[in-house]
Structure 1
Amino acid sequence: MTVPAARQGEAAVTARTTTPVRTEPPVVEPAPTPGPRLGNTRLALLVGGLVVALLAGFGLGRLGAADQRPASGAPQAFASAGEPPAEGAAAADGHQHPPGTGAHTHPGDGNTGQQATGTTVSAAGYTLRPVLRTQPADEPADYRFRIVGPDGQAVTRFAVVHEKPLHLIVVGRDLSGFQHLHPSMADDGTWSVPLTLSRAGSYRVYADFSASTPEGRQVPLVLGVDHHVPGGYDPAGLPPPQPGTTAGPYTVSMTGTPTVGVTVPMDFTISRAGATGPVAPERYLGAYGHLVVVREGDLGYVHVHPEPEIVDGAVKFWLTAPSTGRYRAFLDFQVDGKVHTAEFTINLA
């Protein structure tokens, strides 16, 4: 083995320390009396040197072994590349579930950022950019905006979800004045829709969409931005929770127990005076109902999973409440070709 020049001196010292060098004792003319004593002395020195060298080598070997021991608390076993994680290892929660899987919990639920969206204007590299942030009260306006992608350009490719490439939700910061709109997009990626806001105040506008990347991947997002109507503003108080409400000529009842961090069923039954049994809604945007739930305060937008069919005369959704607080639930349903919206307050103390 070649020893680098900078280390040759150290290597020589180590060799002298750890490896005994055997040399022939010099030939000495025997003396009548001291001769045997002198030979015994030299022999004792030689044996002692060998013992010291062996002990030193053993000690250095122990030190080398000690240097190879893992630090206290370090793992002793390692999985090779490509092996599955050990049982009980945590995994990222890319949780998706089909409707009707039953009440269950989501890993990480209770974190308000995991289930509520729409509180930011940008996410995953996409940004909602409105052309105007204000409009007069009770006057029709053309609300225009773009979705700008990670490359800084307007996105023009969207996946069709519930028969539309983009759903625009508008609601006041006091959770009144709900509207569910469907804008149209120009070739340059600018969306527009007629919007009338009857009352002064602050509103939240949500763009609910799935952008399609050049690689064909879909990126589902809900982005939100504030919108303002100048004038005197008297916020409406949130109505108390009630199991039933009216929407046009219909009475809608809500049953279920919303629970923080648990996905539970919420059933909505539609009835009408004089009718026998529940009223069956028609499919609207590919489903028997659409439910939007917004949290009071930060206006977090909660995604709700619907059942594809009517269940025991009710429209069933699966709701995961992300936190305690008060929420407003907006149910869109269609009967006889007309869309109605039923509104409920949910209070999770």
Structure 2
Amino acid sequence: MNAGVKVAGFVAGLGVVLGLSWAAGAAVGPVLDEPAPAAHEMSGEASGEMAEEASHGEPGAHGDADLLPGGLAVAEDGYRLDLADDALPAGSQRLAFTIVGPDGQPVTAYDVEHEKQLHLIVVRRDFRGFQHVHPVLDPATGVWTTDVRLAPGAWRVLADFVPTGGPDLTLGSDLQVPGAVTVPATAPVSRTDTVDGYTVTVAGDLVAGEHSMLTMTIARDGRPVTDLQPYLGAAGHLVALREGDLAYLHVHPGDGLEFAAEVPSPGRYHLYLDFRHDDVVRTADFVLEAS
């Protein structure tokens, strides 16, 4: 498959980067019952007052709070992400959760988006341990389950889905993993990553509030990889998380590894590119700073 990709990027709206440290980020809980728009098409600016108000999660609030990007709220439009356990031990663990609908019952019907009914992102709040997995649904109970790998620390669980007849949603909830945690240093800007012998590089710059083009190239043994296998219906899959609040931006490519993105605010963004080659899905990660 040709390795060139084009995608319509996603615009998220919140004009202030919350400069949270590792410890502060670990302490921030999910936004409760805060209405917010679908994570995939957003624009506008939010004041610091609105961001603080959102973090306290006033139920039923409207107005500027509707500009919150995806993944910051545990509930939206009557739908709620309920983890079976809000704490799990370190190691390989079974994660279970339900999506509760406006009628108070678990949702059991979902639209297929990018070949899956639900996409789940699990990542520690220091951006380590990123996992993009696809849980299995029990249609009788509405319970989703999947295996994840956990290290001690504070984690964020992000569910990206479309309930049948409902809106396009990304909900987020916190997961605690007990144990000693070493506070990591701030990640530097990084445009190149090496994973399993593949060297992946991103070219292009992010400019807040502007249409930015990012081009990924993949090489192995010094030679460009031009025969990527389809993954989730495309040549690659890109997720971006804003440093501080882990606001979620989800981008799907078109024909190659070129991505169009518009970020809402200056600051650092952690990017994760999933690609498939030789029947194995690998993930490269980068850190870019939006000017």
Alpha-carbon offset, residue 110 of structure 1: 4.2
Equivalent positions of 1:240-255 (< 5 A) are 240-255=188-203
> Which residue matches 2:235?
288
The alignment partner of 1:237 has SS state of coil
Equivalent positions of 1:178-189 (< 5 A) are 178-186=130-138, 187-189=140-142
Q: Is 1:299 aligned to residue 246 of structure 2?
A: yes
Q: Partners in 2 of 1:345 and 1:107 — Cα distance?
A: 22
Q: Contact between 1:118 and 1:300, CA under 8 Å: does it hold in 2?
A: yes
> Which residue matches 1:234?
182
Which of 257, 263, 276 is matched with 2:211 structurally?
263
Residue 296 to residue 279, structure 1, CA distance change in 2 (3 Å): same
> Which residue matches 2:171?
223
Identity %: 40
Q: Contact between 1:270 and 1:280, CA under 8 Å: does it hold in 2?
A: no
Q: Contact between 1:296 and 1:328, CA under 8 Å: does it hold in 2?
A: yes
- The code of the aligned residue for 1:175 comes to F
Cα deviation code 1:84-121 (max 9, x no counterpart)? xxxxxxxxxxxxxx9469x9xx9844448747310110
- The code of the aligned residue for 1:270 comes to I
Q: Is 1:193 aligned to residue 142 of structure 2?
A: no
> Which residue matches 2:84?
131
Q: Partners in 1 of 2:42 and 2:100 — Cα distance?
A: 31
- The code of the aligned residue for 1:320 comes to E
Q: Partners in 1 of 2:43 and 2:82 — Cα distance?
A: 31
Q: Contact between 2:205 and 2:290, CA under 8 Å: does it hold in 1?
A: no
Q: Partners in 2 of 1:253 and 1:288 — Cα distance?
A: 15
Q: Partners in 2 of 1:328 and 1:235 — Cα distance?
A: 18
Q: Contact between 1:154 and 1:189, CA under 8 Å: does it hold in 2?
A: yes
Equivalent positions of 1:94-173 (< 5 A) are 99=7, 108-111=43-46, 114=67, 116-138=69-91, 140-173=92-125
Q: Contact between 1:166 and 1:208, CA under 8 Å: does it hold in 2?
A: yes
Q: Partners in 2 of 1:226 and 1:108 — Cα distance?
A: 26
Q: Contact between 2:272 and 2:284, CA under 8 Å: does it hold in 1?
A: yes
Cα deviation code 1:184-209 (max 9, x no counterpart)? 01121010111221x21000000011
Equivalent positions of 1:29-68 (< 5 A) are none
Residue 226 to residue 107, structure 1, CA distance change in 2 (3 Å): closer
Cα deviation code 1:246-274 (max 9, x no counterpart)? 12111111011211122322111101114
Residue 116 to residue 148, structure 1, CA distance change in 2 (3 Å): same
- RMSD of aligned Cα (Å): 2.3
> Which residue matches 1:309?
255
Cα deviation code 1:110-134 (max 9, x no counterpart)? 4487473101100111100011011
Q: Partners in 2 of 1:254 and 1:115 — Cα distance?
A: 27
Residue 233 to residue 184, structure 1, CA distance change in 2 (3 Å): same
Unaligned runs of 5+ in 2: 1-5, 12-40, 52-64
Q: Partners in 2 of 1:295 and 1:150 — Cα distance?
A: 29
Q: Contact between 1:295 and 1:327, CA under 8 Å: does it hold in 2?
A: yes
Indicate the structure with greater helix content: 1
- The code of the aligned residue for 1:340 comes to R
Residue 263 to residue 226, structure 1, CA distance change in 2 (3 Å): same
Alpha-carbon offset, residue 236 of structure 1: 2.1
TM-score by length of 2: 0.76
- The code of the aligned residue for 1:254 comes to V
Residue 188 to residue 118, structure 1, CA distance change in 2 (3 Å): same
TM-score by length of 1: 0.64
The alignment partner of 1:261 has SS state of coil
Equivalent positions of 1:4-83 (< 5 A) are none
The alignment partner of 1:152 has SS state of coil
